[in-house]
Amino acid sequence: MLTVTIPVDVQQALRKALKAAGTDECGGVLMGEHVGPGHFAVRHLSVQGGGRFASFVRQTQSALRALRKFFNQSGHDYERFNYLGEWHSHPSFSVQPSPTDHQSMLDIVMDVRVGANFVVLLIFKVSHQGDLEGSAHTYLPDGSHGLSTLVLAGAA
Ligand SMILES: [Zn+2]
């Protein structure tokens, strides 16, 4: 559906968050830049959690603060920079979304207050070899979802 690129600096932030959370889930909000047709780059992500990432319901206040900060820094260019979706970790199992993950994302994209045309869910883990692994899924307001392409920039 879409391609989502994770720049090296964001990968480093992710590794740090995953390491700090250990065997607990962590997650947050993704802010992206529209870099081409169907192609987004993650420019910023908030980190919440440590501790069971409570049924993946966002800590709304903290998420909104992160969004406001991002929009201030990016000059309120909503056409180019916007809320892209959510991320969280699956420290000890597959990076594929659970049924609850799918439903949570559909709840967000079908929420008229969010007003999103689509939302992306990224799930990450660090493999035993120390590599960052992830998956990307995109959700549409019509209730459909599909696999998207996750690109870890700089990886061979
Ligand atoms: Zn999950």
Query: What's the gap in Å between 102 CA and the centre of ligand 1?
Result: 9
Distances (CA, A) of 37 to 125, 134, 153: 28, 22, 18
Q: Which pLDDT does position 56 carry in this prediction?
A: 42
Residue 7 CB neighbour total at 10 angstroms: 16
Beta-sheet pairing, 48-49 with 26-36: antiparallel
Query: What's the gap in Å between 24 CA and the centre of ligand 1?
Result: 12
Query: What's the gap in Å between 90 CA and the centre of ligand 1?
Result: 6
Query: What's the gap in Å between 82 CA and the centre of ligand 1?
Result: 23
Distances (CA, A) of 12 to 15, 16, 56: 5, 6, 23
Q: Which of 103, 105, 101 is nearest to 83 (CA)?
A: 105
Q: What is the pLDDT of residues 112-124, one digit of tens each?
A: 777 788 999 999 9
Query: What's the gap in Å between 105 CA and the centre of ligand 1?
Result: 10
Fold of 3-152: Cytidine Deaminase; domain 2 (3.40.140)
Query: What's the gap in Å between 75 CA and the centre of ligand 1?
Result: 32
Three-state DSSP class for residue 98 = coil
Q: Letter for the amino acid at 125?
A: K
> What are the extents of the domains in the chain?
3-152
Residue 61 CB neighbour total at 10 angstroms: 8
- pTM of the entire predicted model: 0.85
**Minimum mean pLDDT among 44-53, 56-65, 121-130, 134-143: which range?**
56-65
**Residue 156: which pLDDT band, with cuts at 50, 70 and 90?**
very low
Is residue 19 within 8 A of residue 99, CB to CB? The reply is: no
DSSP 121-145: EEEEEE-TTS-EEEEEEEE-TTS-E
List residues, by chain if needed, whose CB lies under 5 Å from ion ligand 1: 98, 101
Q: Which pLDDT does position 75 carry in this prediction?
A: 80
Is the confidence at residue 15, as pLDDT, over 50? yes
Query: What's the gap in Å between 92 CA and the centre of ligand 1?
Result: 11
Q: Which of 101, 100, 103, 70 is nearest to 84 (CA)?
A: 70
Query: What's the gap in Å between 12 CA and the centre of ligand 1?
Result: 21
